[in-house]
Structure 1
Amino acid sequence: MWNWSGSDLKLRLTLRVAIVSTLCFAVISGYFLIEADRSVRGRIAAVADVAAKTLELQQSKIQWLNNARSEFPDLDSVAASVMTPGLCLAFRSNSGEISQRFCGGSQTDTAAPPLAFAALYRRLFDPCREVVRQVVSRGNAIGEAVAWIDPAVPTAEAWHDAGRLMAVFMIALPLLCALVYAALARALRPTRQIRDGLERIAAGDLAARLPPFDLAELSAIGDVFNQLAERLAAALSDRNALTQKLILVQDEERRHLARELHDEFGQSLAAIRALAASARQTAAADCPPLLAECDGIARTATDMMETLRGALFRLRPPDVDELGLAASLEGLVAGWNGRSRGQPRFEITISGSFERLVASVSANLYRIVQEALTNAAKHAGATRVMLRLEMREAPPGGGDSAIVLAIDDDGQPGDPQGDPQLRSGLGLLGMRERVAALGGRLSFETGQPSGSSLRVIVPVAASREAAPVERAA
């Protein structure tokens, strides 16, 4: 059975045309066979009519001349004028006796049809049937003029005609299919452009548009496609603008929270440490048993200060403008290694110079790395995280320099669509928006059974035009 799923539309339509053409050929062949049988029947009936009229005239002549010795029936004159190959003519008396009979010879130049065709033809048309006409004299039937044809003759003629039709069909059908296929290929050629446009839209190229087509149906599809592309581009632009504003608000809140923690909570912890030191001096002179409590208060305040420094470092990164991207990332990795005590282990490799990088690019790349390391350490349960930062120079043939950022870990790959941490502003969506603001590309792949890879490519020339999303305060 033919499998229609995934087959070429042109081939499917061509096959349907071939099937319809075959059915039409079968109907036409049947019509011609019926008409041929009807023509043969009409010819036999005409011969029988002529024979009956001739015999009636002969009988009337005998009676009028009162010549009993005249021969009757005499079918020689009729047979000489109407006899054809395979045709038989006879006179049958009322008693059923055949008084005279003439039969034409069979054709010798026609090939014998196959037995199956002969059997089918005789079953459908019954060419052996006789045509009988009564011979009447003075109002009384004196016999019958009988005409029939040898069934082999019309069967052979039908097979010969069917063979010619079949030959014509075998030549015409491939030509018809080839012409239909070529016409369909030409008519459906714009579908390639539609497919290419859809692929470009799927790849993120929202500037893809379709030209007008000759066919009205395809032009309507092109118009709808262009409208959808425009609306999708507008909706995506609005979403990107909103997301970037949210990122700005988020970063501003981070800076505000870091400032509040540093000014209020930090000063309070410093005051607690100072009071603990003062209380320890007093206790050393007046109440030695309180020395342990004073030392405990001081240690607790010191631990809280360390925790506060780590939180402030995550909320407000160091000034990337002053330290540079490379030094800031090295400090970030060192901080993670210090806090994690080797589990997981963070490694960093930097190649190329980033000293002249635009400040907005440095700040956004720092945030991307910060969020990626946080996800790998806290949500993926990675034991090893590899960070590689490379300044890829422009190729000799032309093009722009690009910053390539790669982060690989061996943690359990979470579902970016299902993990709320990855979908939040601190996760993959925030990274994508930051990369989009720089005119770059981001890809995230998960391995089996574990591990994940984050790749970011930012063209340096394009990033110079990007609006800054964050400047470290």
Structure 2
Amino acid sequence: MWNRPRFDLKVRLTLRVAAISAACFAAISAYFLITADRAAHARIDGIAAIVAKTLELQQGKVLWAASPRSDFPNLDPVSAYVMTPGLCLAFRGVGGEMLQRFCSGAPIPEDPPPQIFTAFYHSLFDPGREAARPVILRGTKLGEAVVSVDPAVQTAEAWHEAGRLMLALAIALPLLCVLVYAALARALRPTRMIRAGLERIAANDLTARLPPFDLAELSAVRDVFNHLAESLDTALAERAELTRKLIALQDEERRHLARELHDEFGQSLAAIRALAASARQTAAQECPSLLGECDGIARTATGMMETLRGTLFRLRPPDVEELGLVASLEGLVAGWNGRSRGETRFSIRFDGSFETLPATISANLYRIVQEALTNAAKHAGATKVSMELTMHAGEIALAIDDDGRSTDRAAKSGMGLLGMRERVAALRGRLSFEAGPAGGSALRVVIPLAAANPPALEHAA
């Protein structure tokens, strides 16, 4: 299954805030550039209007004085007031010829704008565009006053304004990211508690509860979480109680079946063996040819009685509470080793003290081991079955490994595995059944010792 990459929420939100902030800075920079461009054009338009008006006054003075000597156009008087670096003043005649032009020098900038900014600025704006105003006297157009600014000077001024904004962005953006990340880390600190609570729930610790939170959204999550934990705890308690009743009913049915087999079927087999022995004595005296049939009947009855004993042992195990869990399991393993006649080797190892183990857990552990050994012997064809029962850190762990066939194992032993799951669930434990690392199958059961606190689970005597 494809998994999408996961990112830390604080990092993701911080990056989004940084992206939005950078976009805002870019919009502000664009606004300042547009405003600066409009101001520059308005300035040269105003200078062009002043130059045109000055030239009109010059020509009017010439006509009024009727002076034969005319120095029109003369841009020197107005240039003293309006000239700035990179500014050009000119007068263009009616025919388009440039009659006079006056430009101020542009200083070489100490920090010239980068080529990429120059290309970007020239693509968006039109630095160096001329501003022309007509020079009109008595309704006659004498020419045009033309004002322009060196494109390099205008670009350098724009870069100077944008550079200040970029410097502010370079300082403010990292600081903003740090502050946002710190604020988010503080605000999202309760999510660690929520995660820890969910992990406890996943580990079957239904006593997990979340404390109140300051944020309304997290408080709503806390209320839902606690309600869910309480509901799940109640549902599992009711399920465990129902499972205990079902297991008790099953064990009672097993005891009843064991009594029926022992009283009815067992007595019938004993009678058959007695009749076979009597018939053999009679046949030995009167008809020796029937001795083989009598012996066959006796052997068949004996085999059926052996099978019946094994069945009765599985239906009605020894009193685990009286013998103890360790002795009962050792006897169970010894019985399986005896019945397998060396075809399958069963072994068990204990680590811990099980003398004070509650009867509820002891009886169900015995039943779980009994069912697991039956599955390994009947459905897996295992030649080696090893078990380990340990007690540590407030829980009991049972590990059963075999070298049998694991294909379709769960399907063939489905009812037995279901019974084991029910018993483990009634004790609030965990069960896993999977293929072993070196082949075969591995059964793992973990039961908390706190399982001794619920009402005692009835078990077969």
With the length of structure 1 as denominator, give the TM-score of the two structures.
0.87
User: 1:4 & 1:455 partners in 2: Cα distance?
Assistant: 32
**Counterpart mapping for 1:17-416 below 5 A:** 17-108=17-108, 110-349=110-349, 358-389=358-389, 405-413=398-406
1:469 to 454, 457, 461: 457
1:121 deviates by: 2.6
Q: Is the 8 A contact 1:132 1:144 kept in 2?
A: yes
Q: 2:28 is matched by which residue type in structure 1?
A: I
User: 1:356 & 1:178 partners in 2: Cα distance?
Assistant: 58
User: 1:116 & 1:390 partners in 2: Cα distance?
Assistant: 73
Q: 1:266 is matched by which residue type in structure 2?
A: G
Structure 1 residue runs without a partner (length 5+): 393-398
Q: Is the 8 A contact 1:4 1:12 kept in 2?
A: no
Q: 2:458 is matched by which residue type in structure 1?
A: E
Provide Cα deviations, 1:339-360, integer angstroms capped at 9, x if missing partner: 2111211224457776665544
Q: Is the 8 A contact 1:424 1:430 kept in 2?
A: no
2:421 to 399, 424, 429: 429
Q: Is the 8 A contact 2:244 2:458 kept in 1?
A: no
User: 1:126 & 1:349 partners in 2: Cα distance?
Assistant: 90
For residue 91 of structure 1, give the secondary structure of its aligned residue in structure 2.
Answer: strand
Q: 2:436 is matched by which residue type in structure 1?
A: G
The aligned counterpart of 1:396 is none
User: 1:434 & 1:117 partners in 2: Cα distance?
Assistant: 74
Provide Cα deviations, 1:332-375, integer angstroms capped at 9, x if missing partner: 22221222111211224457776665544443332222122112
Deviates more, 1:106-115 or 1:369-378: 106-115
CA gap 1:125/1:425 in 2 versus in 1, 3 angstroms: closer
Provide Cα deviations, 1:177-225, integer angstroms capped at 9, x if missing partner: 1111111111221221121111111111112122232233322222222
Provide Cα deviations, 1:216-272, integer angstroms capped at 9, x if missing partner: 332222222222222222222222111111111111110000000011111111222
With the length of structure 2 as denominator, give the TM-score of the two structures.
0.89
Q: Is the 8 A contact 1:435 1:456 kept in 2?
A: no
1:136 deviates by: 1.1
CA gap 1:181/1:293 in 2 versus in 1, 3 angstroms: same
User: 2:157 & 2:405 partners in 1: Cα distance?
Assistant: 82
Q: Is the 8 A contact 2:427 2:451 kept in 1?
A: no
1:26 deviates by: 2.2
User: 1:81 & 1:434 partners in 2: Cα distance?
Assistant: 99
Higher relative contact order (CA 8 A, sep 6+): 2
User: 2:128 & 2:260 partners in 1: Cα distance?
Assistant: 115
User: 2:105 & 2:286 partners in 1: Cα distance?
Assistant: 153
Deviates more, 1:307-316 or 1:28-37: 28-37
Q: Is the 8 A contact 2:109 2:156 kept in 1?
A: no
1:8 deviates by: 1.5
Q: 1:215 is matched by which residue type in structure 2?
A: L
Q: 2:405 is matched by which residue type in structure 1?
A: Q
1:83 deviates by: 1.6
User: 1:122 & 1:456 partners in 2: Cα distance?
Assistant: 76
User: 1:50 & 1:364 partners in 2: Cα distance?
Assistant: 107
User: 1:453 & 1:283 partners in 2: Cα distance?
Assistant: 55
For residue 419 of structure 1, give the secondary structure of its aligned residue in structure 2.
Answer: helix
Q: Is the 8 A contact 1:51 1:78 kept in 2?
A: yes
Deviates more, 1:35-44 or 1:256-265: 35-44
For residue 128 of structure 1, give the secondary structure of its aligned residue in structure 2.
Answer: coil
Structure 2 residue runs without a partner (length 5+): none
Q: 1:412 is matched by which residue type in structure 2?
A: R
Q: 1:450 is matched by which residue type in structure 2?
A: G
CA gap 1:69/1:369 in 2 versus in 1, 3 angstroms: same
For residue 81 of structure 2, give the secondary structure of its aligned residue in structure 1.
Answer: helix
The aligned counterpart of 1:419 is 411
For residue 181 of structure 2, give the secondary structure of its aligned residue in structure 1.
Answer: helix
User: 1:125 & 1:54 partners in 2: Cα distance?
Assistant: 30
Q: 1:259 is matched by which residue type in structure 2?
A: R
1:22 deviates by: 2.2
Deviates more, 1:120-129 or 1:371-380: 120-129
CA gap 1:32/1:4 in 2 versus in 1, 3 angstroms: farther
1:424 deviates by: 4.1
User: 1:117 & 1:419 partners in 2: Cα distance?
Assistant: 72
Q: Is the 8 A contact 1:269 1:301 kept in 2?
A: yes
Q: Is the 8 A contact 1:404 1:457 kept in 2?
A: yes
User: 1:260 & 1:456 partners in 2: Cα distance?
Assistant: 33
Name the % identity.
66
**Counterpart mapping for 1:6-25 below 5 A:** 6-25=6-25
1:41 deviates by: 0.8
For residue 385 of structure 1, give the secondary structure of its aligned residue in structure 2.
Answer: strand
CA gap 1:359/1:147 in 2 versus in 1, 3 angstroms: closer
CA gap 1:83/1:310 in 2 versus in 1, 3 angstroms: same
CA gap 1:301/1:242 in 2 versus in 1, 3 angstroms: same
